[in-house]
Amino acid sequence: MTGQRLQPQSIEHHRIVVKIGSNVLTGGTDSLTPSAVAAIVEQIAALIGRGVQVLVVTSGAVAAGRHRLRAHHESHGAVAQEAQRAHQGDLQSKQVLAAIGQSRLMALWDELFEQQNVPIAQALLTRHDLADRLGYLNARNTLLGLVDLGVVPIVNENDVVSIEELSESTIGDNDNLSAQVANLVDADLLLLLTDIAGLYTADPGRDPAARLIEEVPAIDDAIVAAAGGSAGTRGTGGMATKIQAARIATQGGAHVVIADGAARDVVLRAAAGEPAGTHFAPAGDRLESRRRYLLSGLQARGTVTVDAGAAAALLRGGNSLLPAGVTACEGTFVRGDVIHVVTADGRRLASGMTNYASDEVARILGRHSDQIAETLGYELGEEVIHRNNLVLV
CATH number of the structural domain spanning residue 234: 3.40.1160.10
- The reply to whether 153 and 219 lie within a common domain is yes
Q: Are residues 31 and 81 in the same domain?
A: yes
Q: Is the pLDDT of residue 1 over 50?
A: no
Same domain, 222 and 352: no
Say what the pLDDT of residue 293 is: 61
Of 78-87, 196-205, 255-264, 314-323, the one with minimum mean pLDDT is 78-87
Average pLDDT estimate for 106-133: 87
Q: What is the pLDDT of residue 19?
A: 96
Q: What is the pLDDT of residue 171?
A: 30
Domain stop point among 238, 253, 284: 284
Q: Which of 254, 284, 314 is the last residue of a domain?
A: 284
**pLDDT for the residue 7:** 60
55/135 same-domain check: yes
pLDDT at 22 exceeding the cut of 70: yes
When pLDDT is cut at 50, 70 and 90, the band that residue 15 belongs to is very high
- The pLDDT, as a whole number, for residue 226 is 82
Phi, psi of 19 (to 5 degrees): -100, 130
Same domain as 280, residue 313: no
Residue 2 covered by a domain: no
Residue 8 lies in a domain: no
Least confident of 117-121, 204-208, 223-227, 231-235: 231-235
Label residue 338 by pLDDT band (50, 70, 90): confident
The verdict on 240 and 114 lying in the same domain is yes
Share of the chain above pLDDT 90, in %: 47
Strand order of the β-sheet with 278-280 is: 120-125, 152-157, 53-58, 15-20, 189-194, 255-260, 278-280, 215-216
Residue 123: pLDDT over 80: yes
Instruction: Band the pLDDT of 297: cuts 50, 70, 90.
Output: very low
Position 3 confidence tier, pLDDT thresholds 50, 70, 90: low
Q: In which domain, by residue range, is 36 found?
A: 15-284
- Whether 259 is covered by a domain: the verdict is yes
HEC sequence for the chain? CCCCCCCCCCCCCCEEEEEECHHHHCCCCCCCCHHHHHHHHHHHHHHHHCCCEEEEEECCHHHHHHHHHHCCCCCCHHHHHHHHHHHCCCHHHHHHHHHHHHHHHHHHHHHHHHHCCCCEEEEEECHHHHHCHHHHHHHHHHHHHHHHCCCEEEEEECCCCCCCCCCCCCCCCHHHHHHHHHHHCCCCEEEEEECCCCCECCCCCCCCCCCECCEECCCCHHHHHHHCCCCCCCCCCCHHHHHHHHHHHHHCCCEEEEEECCCCCHHHHHHCCCCCCEEECCCCCHHHHHHHHHHHHCCCCEEEEECHHHHHHHHHCCCCECHHHEEEEEECCCCCCEEEEECCCCCEEEEEECCCCHHHHHHHCCCCHHHHHHHHCCCCCCCCECHHHEEEC
Mean pLDDT of 263-284: 92
pLDDT of residue 199: 92
Average pLDDT of the segment spanning 330-350: 92
If asked whether residues 144 and 205 sit together in one domain, one would say: yes
**Per mean pLDDT, which range of 184-198, 222-236, 267-281, 298-312 is the poorest?**
222-236
332 and 295 housed in the same domain: yes
Residues 279, 181 share a domain:
yes
What rounded mean pLDDT belongs to the chain? 82
Do 199 and 107 lie in a common domain? Answer: yes
Structural domain includes residue 329: yes
Q: How many structural domains compose the chain?
A: 2
pLDDT of residue 288: 65
Looking at the structure, tell me whether residues 141 and 273 fall in a common domain: yes
How large is the average pLDDT for residues 222-233? 66
For residue 3, tell me if it sits in a domain.
no
pLDDT of residue 336: 85
Pair (294, 269) in one structural domain: no
Among 284, 318, 339, the domain-final residue is 284
pLDDT at site 72: 56
Here the CATH number for the domain that contains residue 320 is: 2.30.130.10
Is pLDDT above 50 for 165? no
The predicted model gives 283-297 an average pLDDT of: 63
What integer is the mean pLDDT of 359-386?
95
Q: Is residue 9 part of a domain?
A: no
Exposed/middle/buried for residue 87 (C-beta within 10 Å: 0-12, 13-18, 19+):
middle
Structure confidence at residue 234 (pLDDT) = 40
pLDDT of residue 295: 61
10: in domain: no
- Strand order across the 338-342 sheet: 326-331, 302-306, 338-342, 348-353, 390-392
So what's the pLDDT on residue 11?
79
